[in-house]
Amino acid sequence: MTCDDIREDLEAYALGILDVASTRRVDEHVRECRDCEYVVSDYQFAVDSLALAVPLYRAPARVKDRLLGGIGAFPAPALSMMRRRWWAVSAAAVLMAFAVGGLTWAIVLSSEVSKLRSDNERLAQLTELDAAQRQALLSLEGRLNSARTEQLRLSTTLEEQATMLVVALDPDLVPTELGGTSLAPQASCNYVWSSKQAVGALTCKDLPTTAFSVGYELWAIKGDKSVPVGTFLPRYDGTASLLVKFPDSAQGPVSSLWVTLEELSSGRNAPSSQVVLQPLPPLQATR
């Protein structure tokens, strides 16, 4: 790999808009090449400054209130706890918290939607609207639309989480632990298969953030064939979850499970990049 091969990607690299494979390629080169490292650091200086060019708006006071009111719910993480193995019971607890939290949120949002709708109707009754009133109306409409979108997304998520909860609480479930390869040594996942429900649930933690338009793909390996069974993205804290329903074409025993990084927009029948997570031996069971 020469400098000329990657020189035209250095700007995008500094801007953080390269795909995963190209980012890795530039990473490896820059570690070895002082000249390119220097060029990147120059670009990085300019890129870092761009954040200061944003028009500055006053953050609403409620953001600070919510932040300071909510930090009590996040005590210091205990290392010993973080290092403990997390099996089906802890997964069930987490999922239950998600489900309850999601349900509460959905109820709150539902009430918010009703309130916004009545506000909207009241505003619509005003015959003479000045500029400020029109602005307020537009703002309310925007919030109403956001709330509706969020409610729709939550209802879908809630249904999925409820199914995952049922799976996790199945006494006959079969767990399989996945560990990160050298690409993500801190990452780990726990996969449980419920033969009763005929679905599986994957919960992960410490996943590295992915580049734009790239997500994680779970693969079921059946002999020499690989079947894509789901795409998922990590949350901001590195956790992720996925409900797995095997397609009819993928019946039969699974010999292994892989997680790879794939472009979100393109469908495929085989992994296109290196394995990020794989079962820790011995493989206990999958489906």
Partner 1 sequence: MSLENPATSKPLRIRRLPFGVDINGRKPRGPESQRITDYATATDERLVIALEVRDERALEAIYDRYGDYVYSICLRMVGDVQLAEDLSQEVFLRLWRRPDLYDVSRGRFLTWLLSVARNRAIDERRSRGRRFKHETPPSETSEEILESVPTSETKDMAVLSEERVVVQRALATLPPEQRLAIQLAYFGGYTQQEIAEGLHQPLGTVKTRIRLGLHKLRLLLEQQGEVNGHFDL
Closer to partner 1 by Cβ: residue 54 or 131: 54
Nearer to partner 1, 125 or 266 (CB): 266
The pair of structure tokens assigned to 189 is: 């996942």
Q: At what angle do helices 34-50 and 20-32 cross, to 10 degrees?
A: 130
Q: Does 132 bind partner 1 (CB under 8 A)?
A: no
- Distance, in Å, from the CA atom of 110 to the CA atom of 80, rounded to the nearest integer, reads 39
Structure tokens at 252: 């039969």
Choices 83-91, 136-144, 164-172, 271-279; region in contact with partner 1 by CB under 8 A: 136-144
Among residues 65 and 198, whose Cβ is nearest to partner 1?
65
How many residues line the site for partner 1 (CB under 8 A)? Answer: 52
By CB under 8 A, the residues from 71 to 90 that bind partner 1 are: 71, 74-77
Which of residues 31, 60, 78, 81 is near partner 1 by CB under 8 A?
A: 60
Angle between helices 88-124 and 131-168 (to 10 degrees): 160
CB of residue 23 to partner 1, shortest distance in Å: 12
**Residue placing its CB nearer to partner 1 in the complex, 79 or 224:** 79
Sign of the torsion angle spanned by Cα atoms 161, 87, 287, 219: positive
Smallest separation, CB 260 to partner 1 (Å): 18
Instruction: Kindly state the smallest distance separating residue 87's Cβ from partner 1, in Å.
Output: 23
CB closer to partner 1 out of 118 and 231? 231
Q: Do residues 177 and 84 make contact, with C-beta atoms less than 8 angstroms apart?
A: no
Q: Which of 214, 267, 215 is nearest to 242 (CA)?
A: 215
| Closer CB to partner 1, 106 or 280, in the complex | 106
String of DSSP letters for 65-109 = HHHHHHGGGSPPPPHHHHHS---HHHHHHHHHHHHHHHHHHHHHH
First to last CA, the chain: 43
Task: Give the binding range for partner 1 (CB under 8 A) out of 51-59, 96-104, 164-172, 276-284.
Answer: 51-59
| Minimum CB distance to partner 1 smaller for 111 or for 195 | 111
Q: Which long-range contacts (CB under 8 A, 24 or more apart) does 93-100 make?
A: 94/203, 95/161, 95/164, 95/165, 95/168, 95/201, 95/203, 95/241, 96/165, 98/161, 98/241, 99/158, 99/161, 99/162, 99/165
Does position 5 bind partner 1 by CB under 8 A? no
Residue 282 makes contact with partner 1 by CB under 8 A: no
Question: Which residue ranges make up the site for partner 1 (CB under 8 A)?
Answer: 8, 11-12, 14-19, 42-43, 45-60, 62-64, 66-68, 70-71, 74-77, 139, 142-143, 146-147, 209, 212-213, 233, 236-237, 264-265
